[in-house]
Amino acid sequence: KQEVTQIPAALSVPEGENLVLNCSFTDSAIYNLQWFRQDPGKGLTSLLLIQSSQREQTSGRLNASLDKSSGRSTLYIAASQPGDSATYLCAVRLVETSGSRLTFGEGTQLTVNP
Amino acid sequence: KAGVTQTPRYLIKTRGQQVTLSCSPISGHRSVSWYQQTPGQGLQFLFEYFSETQRNKGNFPGRFSGRQFSNSRSEMNVSTLELGDSALYLCASSLQSSTGELFFGEGSRLTVL
């Protein structure tokens, strides 16, 4: 059974700091990994999608890496801003015999202080 | 381009009742999946539909069911509601079933009293 773990569970940093969020998964036979952010009471916003054949993806101040063999992904946020405060979730897509499903981690709650 | 639309956004039901939630995917997306989010269990997969066929089902009791229509819109139904069904129900759509990026709606928050 695929398990996804995110460390740390919560993180508080001053504005402007660079930071790294970690995600690990137990089954390396994945199709892809996706990072999301969730604001309180809201749905999930897709940040980055990394296919299993890729090593990293970048979007603006965000960079996500994937090491499938070791079952790890990191989300790097450069020059953090108060607007980055949210819960960040990673999810892996394990293709089963029919269809596919996302398995989510518990999330990292990020607070960026002005 | 409109995103994933879920209705209703909020609803309150009592135990024993049933509820139907609706999801309209992004135009052109044929895959729709549903997730339940609770503080204790996090995000858990309910089911996935592609071209009106259920392709995958999570580990939920038979009280949870769903369907997809020919226009890719999807509904999920929960019968005989229990207090533990209180949750945020999220719908996601993607262009492709297996490898596509998932886009989520704002969710339907269900409270069971």
| Per-residue confidence (pLDDT) for residue A1, from 0 to 100 | 81
CB-closest option in B6, B42, B58 to A101: B58
pLDDT along chain A (114 residues), means of 10: 92 96 92 95 94 94 95 97 97 78 94 96
Smallest Cα–Cα separation from A102: which of B106, B79, B94, B74? B94
Query: Is A99–B43 a contact, with Cβ atoms under 8 angstroms apart?
Result: no
Taking the Cβ of residue B73 and every Cβ of chain A, the question of whether any pair is shorter than 8 Å is answered with no
3-state secondary structure of A82: helix
Question: Can you tell me the distance from the alpha carbon of A101 to that of B50, in angstroms, rounded to the nearest whole number?
Answer: 12
Query: Is A99–B50 a contact, with Cβ atoms under 8 angstroms apart?
Result: yes
Confidence check: pLDDT of B40 > 90 = no
Question: Can you tell me the distance from the alpha carbon of A82 to that of A84, in angstroms, rounded to the nearest whole number?
Answer: 5
Peptide bond into A82 cis (omega under 30): no
CB of B112 within 8 A of CB of B85?
yes
Query: Is B97–A100 a contact, with Cβ atoms under 8 angstroms apart?
Result: yes
Residue A98 C-alpha, separation from nearest chain B C-alpha, in angstroms: 5
Least confident residue range of A88-97, B1-10, B47-56, B60-69: A88-97
User: What rounded mean pLDDT belongs to chain B?
Assistant: 94
Query: Residue A103 has which token pair?
Result: 């398995």
Residue B12 C-alpha, separation from nearest chain A C-alpha, in angstroms: 16
Amino acid identity, position A33: L
B4-33 pLDDT tens trace:
999 999 999 999 999 999 999 999 999 999
User: Which of A44, A50, A109 would best serve as a mutation to test chain B binding (most B beta carbons within 10 A)?
Assistant: A44
Contacts across the A-B interface (CB distance below 8 Å): 65
| Per-residue confidence (pLDDT) for residue B64, from 0 to 100 | 98
